[in-house]
Chain A
Amino acid sequence: MLPNFSYERPGSVDEALEQSSSEGAVLHAGGTDLLGCLRDGVFSAEKVVSLSGLDDLRGIRSSGGGLRIGALTTLTEIATHDAIAERYGALSQAAASAASPQLRNQGTVGGNICQRPRCWYFRGDFDCLRKGGDRCYAIAGENQFHCIFGGSGCYIVHPSDTAPALQALGASVRIASRSRSRTVPMEEFFILPSDDISRENVLEPGELVTEIELPRVASGTRSVYRKVRDRGAWDFALAGLAAVVRMSGDRVDEASLVLSGVAPKPWRAAEAEAALTGNRLDAATIEQVANASVAGAQPMPHNGYKVDLVRGLVMETLQSLA
């Protein structure tokens, strides 16, 4: 059952920032995550600030060779946008692989990158660390869907599909607040539990994601997003891979490999990128890159399969690009 809250529907970004700066205010974009969290008591709200009146934050525009995507653009709009499919394939595929058609019609890209974790202890009736409780239940509990990288104290995985694709494509996030606006590279937008266990990104209270900027794509660049889940739709990634490579001939000049579903934030596989860059995309390289992609993995008792899965994903994806 939803708690009692006041509801505001501002007509401008400034007004929205004003409304959302008060204590206990939450932002309502698509609402597909927010309403579930409120209903299940994951967190509460004094005030819900609807963003539905902010038409400025909708739509996809060209800008200096890149694209600017309004935070309220739906996942369906991204998944069906021709220029995105053509130039930013990984993003198009990531948006199309999220949730279900109904949720993609409603859910926004801003909401998608800001959504809360899906850990069933966080979502359920457990007083867990991330909710201010005294322990992480995943450590000794049912951790088959938890992280193999970047955990400490809390072992969530970041649930977004679009975020790893955006990060691999070099995107930045435009953030506004009453006092300032700033642009943060996607890579720096997300944080680990060791930085702050109560949140998943750098947003401060009163800040609002307004736009995502995608840079120009260098010629010869290809990108894909591949997601593995336990069922064909309406399911989060067990592991996923956003891969962006720029090649000349069969040699990789530049590579960006970002994993989903395996860490509390989109996880850059830096060693794998290094093993790939400058090398020919042949079987030997692919094997090395796959092994490097799980270097440093620290599986929990029930999620060791994710190590094999990431290795397999990297191999399959690179083979498809070769």
Chain B
Amino acid sequence: MKYYLDWPEPDAGDLPPPDQNIEPWGETDVVGKPLPRIDAYERVSGSAVYTLDMALPDMLHTAIVRCPHAHARVVRVDASRAEAMPGVRAVMTTASPEAAIPWYFGRGGATSSLFDEHCRYAGEEVAAVAAETWHQAIEAARAIDVEYEVLPFVQDDAAALDEDAPRVHDSGNILGQQTGGRGDVEAGFAEADVVLEETYHTPCELHAPMEAFVSIARWDGNRVTVWDSTQGVFGIQAGLARYLQLPLSSVRVICHYMGGGFGSKLGLSKHTVIAALLARMTARPVKAVLTREESFLCVGNRPATTIRIKAGVKRDGTITAFDASFLGSGGAYPAGANSTFLVQALYECPNVRVEDNEVFTNAGQARAFRAPGDPNCAWALEQMIDDLAERIDMDPVEFRLKNYATVLQTNNTPYTSIGLGDCLRQGAEAFGWAEARARTPEEGHLRRGVGMAAGMWRYPGDPRATVFVKVFSDGSVNLTMGAADIGTGTKTTMAMVVAEELGVALESIQIVHSDTGTTQPAPSSGGSQTLLVMSPAVRAAAIEVKNQLLEIAAAEMELPVEQLVVQDGKVMPAGEPEAGVEFASLTGLRRRQVVVGVGRRHPHPEGKIALPFAAQFAEVEVNTLTGEVQVLRLVAAHDSGRMLNRLTYENQVFGGMTMGLGLGLTEERILDSNQTGKMVNANWHDYKIPTAKDVPADNTCIPIDPQDTEANTVGAKGLGEPAHIPTAAAIANAVYHATGARVYDAPITRSRMLEALAAAEGE
């Protein structure tokens, strides 16, 4: 699966060669410390200005008219009433020239347009208004009369495959059918002592980031500046340049403080283009904010997945075959729905067959959502693994230790490092796995159980990044990088890398970031790549600056450069701190005013791949009378390479597990599929994100650092996504251990738990 890219993949020759002079860090002074975020005060005090907070002089506001039907054709639009209303400055509808801007590129080319008369889901854009105030815009949007021809719709993934199903696209409902694998699964099953087959289902989940979706566009002549709540300004810039037919140098996209996206803010959204178009039409800045309700409909989701897995195992614990089929829908437009990766890669198995079916349905389009497809796949695979282990009387941890793969089996690539064994062992030890597992079950209706699951993340990152580090004449420092800080602490960890190399205080480092006008292209902050792509480039830039300062100092101190080191913001002969000279005291620096270092990310190692691994453990209590499931504690052991900052590392892990708890227990988009096809729980009350009462107070994070010197010059691997992959499955396994009832459909609501308990009792 590819992330949102408008650029071809780089060849190794496009990137600078690995810098042989950059040695792995030994003992570090700053990196690895539990340091608070450098912008923590601004964020918690409310002084940080997010895109949503911004207001420009003379700014107009938008409202978007959305199709209320799951499937319909616009017969007629009449905006005359709206255009005459007070404060209204511009209106665009399906009848406007801009409506034809092609949209939803994907397999099969453009399948729709900015305002498409053929509306394929409830929430699709039909018209937009710019007005002096937000209230005027909303009133005007309501006054646009749209006549629809309501069409039959299909929302069930399996039903969409029927010949007679309503067609989402004229070409039909089948988006993709792929098979893959290796070996001979039938031979594998013939060898097995135990063969199991089950079908699992995961729900459609919404990203629900805290900061709303918002874009503000302002034109200056033929150039446009867009402030956007986005995970990657360069992707938005490229998209806008394409839709507006402008050179990249005429589109500037900026996002400083950012309030969460989880994948939904990787790609360009229609409201952003609408803001830019309305701003051009009115020659005024335009702000487009999506309401919470809108954000549940039209800016992405994690699609529901149905996964059937058949697996064979020998009595000695050897897995002989996996045969898995996936069915999912990214909604009405092309979007990746499933990931078969874990079945193919996590455990050693010579015979694997996977079949992946994606269909179109009349529902909002999916977007990348924290490890797209993988928590779903783990939900199925990791419950199956536990069942296999039980059938051959093997402990789940032991079974995984025996079977985890040590090369990437999809193409037999070795890993630069693999800490999964340590994750399993150290996680189990910290959790007290053996004792908890051996505990005598309770007699009453409150049953405790423990479970675990493993996981890995498949994306090694886009290695392209260019970073500037500058030292000003007074010795203070500027870090200029394209990457966003989407709430993960990127600014803090990158400043720590600079501080490690230059010995300057974090407070003295100014950060300019996530601005296509002033920074260099960087990968979008998705795919767990920001840290491992950016930190080597930051380190390289800091080292280049350091080398220049050393040259300047060597000349002024009349010492050979090899004898000098940088420490505590000073240049000094090695081991003689008392002879140190502050950067600001270097005449050469003051004469030049600034020293600039350019750092570029080196390519990924040849013939190897650097991927992160995880094992998570859960203890739950199930009330067998009421179906209530309470997660009592979670332990997460992660091999994400070097830990740069204990605090932000824990934030990622605990946040990922909380989101995983939502998948396991509470979160689920519900469509009124039998009647109207509308989403019935498009709000933060009915769509149930876990609260503080649902998340255990007892969370433990165990960083496993395999000292990876091949992955990159920092030794870091990704963390955001692996933290989310195994959690729901670990909870499901713990529920089974507690009750003997398997819940195959996520989330484990009270309803599903009671039904599973009743089914287990009937057996």
> Could you tell me which A residues sit within 8 Å of B by CB distance?
1, 100, 120-121, 124-126, 137, 140-142, 144, 228-235, 238, 302-303, 305, 308-309, 311-313, 315-316
Residue of B630, B665, B675 near A137 (CB, 8 A) is B675
Contact B751 A144 (CB under 8 A): yes
Known: A120-B680, A140-B674, A313-B626. A231 touches B694 (CB 8 A): yes
Contact B625 A315 (CB under 8 A): yes
Contact A308 B691 (CB under 8 A): no
Contact B445 A124 (CB under 8 A): no
17 additional contacts, CB 8 Å, given A120-B681, A235-B688, A315-B445? A120-B680, A121-B680, A137-B672, A137-B675, A140-B675, A142-B670, A144-B751, A230-B666, A230-B688, A230-B750, A234-B685, A238-B750, A305-B754, A312-B624, A312-B627, A313-B625, A315-B625
Known: A125-B68, A142-B680. A316 touches B670 (CB 8 A): no
Interface: B1 (CB within 8 A): no
Contact B678 A124 (CB under 8 A): yes
Distance from A306 Cβ to chain B, minimum over Cβ atoms (Å): 8
Contact B750 A316 (CB under 8 A): no
Question: 13 A-B contacts, Cβ less than 8 Å apart?
Answer: A100-B691, A121-B672, A141-B675, A141-B680, A142-B674, A228-B627, A228-B750, A230-B750, A308-B758, A309-B750, A311-B625, A312-B625, A316-B625
The digit string for B67-89, where 1 denotes a CB below 8 A from any CB of A, is 01000000000000000000000
Q: Smallest CB-CB separation from B661: which chain A residue? A: A231
Known: A1-B135, A141-B674, A316-B623. A228 touches B628 (CB 8 A): yes
Q: Please, which residues of chain A bring their CB within 8 A of the CB of B750?
A: 228-230, 238, 305, 309
Q: Smallest CB-CB separation from A236: which chain B residue? A: B685
Interface: B690 (CB within 8 A): yes
Taken together as a complex, chains A and B put the C-alpha atoms of A74 and B372 apart, in Å, by 44
Distance from B724 Cβ to chain A, minimum over Cβ atoms (Å): 18
**Which B617-671 residues have a C-beta within 8 angstroms of A?**
623-628, 630, 665-666, 670
Residue of A121, A124, A140, A233 near B693 (CB, 8 A) is A233
Residue of B627, B630, B690 near A309 (CB, 8 A) is B627
Q: Smallest CB-CB separation from B694: which chain A residue? A: A232
Contact A316 B135 (CB under 8 A): no
Known: A231-B693, A233-B693. A305 touches B625 (CB 8 A): no
Interface: B755 (CB within 8 A): yes
Q: Please, which residues of chain A bring their CB within 8 A of the CB of B751?
A: 144, 238, 302-303, 305
Tell me the interface secondary structure of chain B in the complex: loop
Contact A309 B675 (CB under 8 A): no
A233, A234, A305: residue with the most chain B Cβ atoms closer than 10 Å: A305
Taken together as a complex, chains A and B put the C-alpha atoms of A141 and B68 apart, in Å, by 17
Q: Please, which residues of chain A bring their CB within 8 A of the CB of B138?
A: 1
Contact B693 A142 (CB under 8 A): no
Taken together as a complex, chains A and B put the C-alpha atoms of A140 and B665 apart, in Å, by 25
Contact B754 A309 (CB under 8 A): yes
Interface: B676 (CB within 8 A): yes
Interface: B548 (CB within 8 A): no
Interface: B438 (CB within 8 A): no
**Which B712-763 residues have a C-beta within 8 angstroms of A?**
749-751, 754-755, 758
Q: Please, which residues of chain B bring their CB within 8 A of the CB of A238?
A: 750-751
Taken together as a complex, chains A and B put the C-alpha atoms of A1 and B138 apart, in Å, by 8
Distance from B662 Cβ to chain A, minimum over Cβ atoms (Å): 9
Q: Please, which residues of chain A bring their CB within 8 A of the CB of B688?
A: 230-231, 235
Q: Please, which residues of chain A bring their CB within 8 A of the CB of B755?
A: 305
Residue of A100, A120, A308 near B754 (CB, 8 A) is A308
Contact B754 A231 (CB under 8 A): no
Q: Smallest CB-CB separation from A232: which chain B residue? A: B693
Q: Which 3 A-B pairs have the closest CB atoms?
A: A232-B693, A312-B625, A305-B751
Taken together as a complex, chains A and B put the C-alpha atoms of A137 and B670 apart, in Å, by 14
Q: Please, which residues of chain A bring their CB within 8 A of the CB of B685?
A: 234-235
Residue of A125, A231, A233 near B678 (CB, 8 A) is A125
Q: Please, which residues of chain A bring their CB within 8 A of the CB of B626?
A: 228, 309, 312-313, 316
Q: Smallest CB-CB separation from B752: which chain A residue? A: A305
The digit string for B130-156, where 1 denotes a CB below 8 A from any CB of A, is 000001001000000000000000000
Distance from A36 Cβ to chain B, minimum over Cβ atoms (Å): 9
Q: Smallest CB-CB separation from B291: which chain A residue? A: A1
Q: Smallest CB-CB separation from B122: which chain A residue? A: A125
Q: Please, which residues of chain B bring their CB within 8 A of the CB of A144?
A: 751
Q: Please, which residues of chain A bring their CB within 8 A of the CB of B624?
A: 312
Q: Please, which residues of chain A bring their CB within 8 A of the CB of B754?
A: 305, 308-309, 312
Distance from B288 Cβ to chain A, minimum over Cβ atoms (Å): 16
**Which B22-73 residues have a C-beta within 8 angstroms of A?**
68
Distance from B445 Cβ to chain A, minimum over Cβ atoms (Å): 7
Q: Please, which residues of chain B bring their CB within 8 A of the CB of A137?
A: 672, 675-676
Distance from B85 Cβ to chain A, minimum over Cβ atoms (Å): 14
Q: Smallest CB-CB separation from B692: which chain A residue? A: A233
Contact B625 A233 (CB under 8 A): no
Interface: B686 (CB within 8 A): yes
Taken together as a complex, chains A and B put the C-alpha atoms of A238 and B625 apart, in Å, by 14
Q: Smallest CB-CB separation from A290: which chain B residue? A: B625
Taken together as a complex, chains A and B put the C-alpha atoms of A1 and B292 apart, in Å, by 12
Residue of A141, A228, A232, A303 near B691 (CB, 8 A) is A232
Taken together as a complex, chains A and B put the C-alpha atoms of A319 and B693 apart, in Å, by 25
Q: Please, which residues of chain B bring their CB within 8 A of the CB of A141?
A: 672, 674-675, 680
Q: Please, which residues of chain B bring their CB within 8 A of the CB of A316?
A: 445, 623, 625-626
Taken together as a complex, chains A and B put the C-alpha atoms of A69 and B512 apart, in Å, by 58
Taken together as a complex, chains A and B put the C-alpha atoms of A228 and B628 apart, in Å, by 7
Taken together as a complex, chains A and B put the C-alpha atoms of A230 and B626 apart, in Å, by 11
Taken together as a complex, chains A and B put the C-alpha atoms of A302 and B755 apart, in Å, by 11
Q: Smallest CB-CB separation from B625: which chain A residue? A: A312
Contact B680 A230 (CB under 8 A): no
Distance from A271 Cβ to chain B, minimum over Cβ atoms (Å): 20
Q: Please, which residues of chain A bring their CB within 8 A of the CB of B670?
A: 142
Distance from B759 Cβ to chain A, minimum over Cβ atoms (Å): 12
Taken together as a complex, chains A and B put the C-alpha atoms of A126 and B678 apart, in Å, by 9
Distance from A5 Cβ to chain B, minimum over Cβ atoms (Å): 14
Taken together as a complex, chains A and B put the C-alpha atoms of A124 and B677 apart, in Å, by 13
Q: Please, which residues of chain B bring their CB within 8 A of the CB of A121?
A: 672, 680
Distance from A263 Cβ to chain B, minimum over Cβ atoms (Å): 18
Taken together as a complex, chains A and B put the C-alpha atoms of A273 and B758 apart, in Å, by 26
Q: Please, which residues of chain A bring their CB within 8 A of the CB of B666?
A: 230-231
Q: Please, which residues of chain B bring their CB within 8 A of the CB of A313?
A: 625-626
Taken together as a complex, chains A and B put the C-alpha atoms of A230 and B666 apart, in Å, by 7
Contact A120 B686 (CB under 8 A): yes
Q: Smallest CB-CB separation from B685: which chain A residue? A: A234
Residue of B623, B625, B628, B691 near A234 (CB, 8 A) is B691
Taken together as a complex, chains A and B put the C-alpha atoms of A251 and B676 apart, in Å, by 53
A121, A235, A312: residue with the most chain B Cβ atoms closer than 10 Å: A312
Contact B691 A233 (CB under 8 A): yes
Distance from A222 Cβ to chain B, minimum over Cβ atoms (Å): 20
Taken together as a complex, chains A and B put the C-alpha atoms of A233 and B688 apart, in Å, by 10
Distance from A125 Cβ to chain B, minimum over Cβ atoms (Å): 6
Distance from A232 Cβ to chain B, minimum over Cβ atoms (Å): 3
Contact A126 B690 (CB under 8 A): no
Contact A231 B680 (CB under 8 A): no
Taken together as a complex, chains A and B put the C-alpha atoms of A121 and B630 apart, in Å, by 30
Q: Please, which residues of chain A bring their CB within 8 A of the CB of B665?
A: 231
Distance from B683 Cβ to chain A, minimum over Cβ atoms (Å): 8
Q: Smallest CB-CB separation from A317: which chain B residue? A: B625
Q: Smallest CB-CB separation from B68: which chain A residue? A: A125
Contact A142 B694 (CB under 8 A): no
Distance from B67 Cβ to chain A, minimum over Cβ atoms (Å): 12
Taken together as a complex, chains A and B put the C-alpha atoms of A140 and B625 apart, in Å, by 28
Taken together as a complex, chains A and B put the C-alpha atoms of A309 and B624 apart, in Å, by 10
B675, B680, B690: residue with the most chain A Cβ atoms closer than 10 Å: B680
Taken together as a complex, chains A and B put the C-alpha atoms of A141 and B671 apart, in Å, by 9
Q: Smallest CB-CB separation from A137: which chain B residue? A: B675
Q: Please, which residues of chain B bring their CB within 8 A of the CB of A100?
A: 691
Taken together as a complex, chains A and B put the C-alpha atoms of A66 and B627 apart, in Å, by 37
